[in-house]
Amino acid sequence: MEHTYYPPKFEETQFHCPRCHVFASQIWEDLQIDRYGNRIETPFKSSTCVHCKQSSYWLEGRLVSPAESPVEPPHTELPADCSADYNEARDIVARSPRGAAALLRLVLQKLMVHLGESGTNINDDIKALVAKGLPRVVQQALDVCRVVGNNAVHPGELDVNDTPETAHQLFRMINFIVDDRIARPKEIQALYAQLPQGAKDAIAKRDKNP
């Protein structure tokens, strides 16, 4: 099921670790160097994850190692052919929000195939999903990714480089769509499959009768 992602933030005591991706407490330390027995202060700080015991490194309030941007990882049910583009977008979003948004539009286009549509025209695919009963909130999430991603490819009124937080939100939108359209139905189907056969037969008989 969908979970809240808490991105790494400077001097926060808890967040999702950029090393192991687990939500955990963080221990902060000022980094010093030892030169000829003298301790010399540096502008770097470290945050050590209580869960994995690995450290991340910060310079002037910015995460520098690991280098990936602190946005949520792909949903575990995001199809494999989408994950590579999603992770590439994570890697570049801090340097190029527009490039990341364009990649996430490609993720959305590939995702449409997994939702039963052609993947040829995202707008037409969304229209087809709406006709099949797509919830409005999911339609809105799809259109956010479509419109913002399209502006990144063909710059229009919305300049994603001027509003990088918009690009960051696209990652959450993609994961929301995957959770609603793929993960939740899969979980429900798995639970339904565990029902006794007699109960499933009775349900099938019920649904055949008006």
pLDDT mean by block of 10 residues, the chain; 210 residues: 73 90 93 81 93 93 77 91 93 85 93 95 96 95 90 70 79 94 93 93 84
Please tell me the predicted confidence (pLDDT) of residue 164: 75
pLDDT confidence of residue 1: 46
Q: If DSSP states are collapsed to H, E and C, what string results for the chain?
A: CCCCCCCCCCCCCEEECCCCCCEEEEEEEEEEEEECCEEEEEEEEEEEECCCCCEEEEECCEEEECCCCCCCCCCCCCCHHHHHHHHHHHHHCCCCHHHHHHHHHHHHHHHHHHCCCCCCCHHHHHHHHHHCCCCHHHHHHHHHHHHHHHHHHCCCCCCCCCCHHHHHHHHHHHHHHHHHHHHHHHHHHHHHHCCCHHHHHHHHHHHHCC
Predicted local confidence at residue 158, as pLDDT: 65
**pLDDT the model gives residue 198:** 93
What pLDDT is stored for residue 180 in this prediction?
94
The pLDDT value recorded for residue 89 is 92
